[in-house]
Structure 1
Amino acid sequence: MTSEYLFNQIKSIHRLVLNNFEYNADQKTFNVRGTLPENTYDGTQYLVGDCEDFALACRKLCRDAEILHGQMVMCIDCGGSMHCVFEVGGWILDCRQAQVMARDDLAYDWVAVRQFSGGGKWTAL
């Protein structure tokens, strides 16, 4: 898989999820954190959730596309609040961004990571 092909795949995944996503904090709507998308989720279904739900949806579609080296990343954004994104090869899929961004181009303070198959454990950076 070439880096250009990978980048085009993650751009398509980001755009698909973002176009069918409405941000709404879990605590207000579902009183839970980070809801895994259904097995039948393919990005075309309308998704309401927070940044972690968006990242989990991107992770699901990356797995479906056999992009197996992504990771969930927790950061503190420039406003001081916690935020979750999905990273693939230094590229960030973020519900706050209209396009895929390079990790170094975001003004986030990266604080923790959860590997693609890490059993759900966050590791401090």
Structure 2
Amino acid sequence: MELDKIVLNRKERKLLNKINFLTDYGNKRLIKAEIVTSQPEFDLYYFYQLRNYGLVETHHYPEPEESYHYRPDNGIASTQKGLHYNDWHWEHLRQFLYRSVTVPIIISIIANLVILVVKHFYK
């Protein structure tokens, strides 16, 4: 899923920031799942949302004897999209404010100046 289509709510952003903090923003690539699940921000629903968006990924730690029984995911890492989500979010907000606020204000100021000049010269 592209970043343009991803809108995180407050709890998802908080959990993503916590995972990024725990992975030291990508320097420690993989952390134990118990560390993340013990955080007060952790909620399984929001974690699965982040995973479905591709912002975090789960892995298995290697075991010496590979067996064919079910193993839960025991390693969590932020993806590159997850590490840079906040940068993208602020850039997107800046562009939105420029297009939606700044440009209309500048246009209205120019229109008012034109009206004043026209009124002044054609009196």
Normalized per residue, the structure richer in strand is 1
- Of structures 1 and 2, the one scoring higher in RCO (CA 8 A, sep 6+) is 2
More helix by share: 2
**Do the structures match in fold with TM over 0.5?**
no
TM-score by length of 1: 0.28
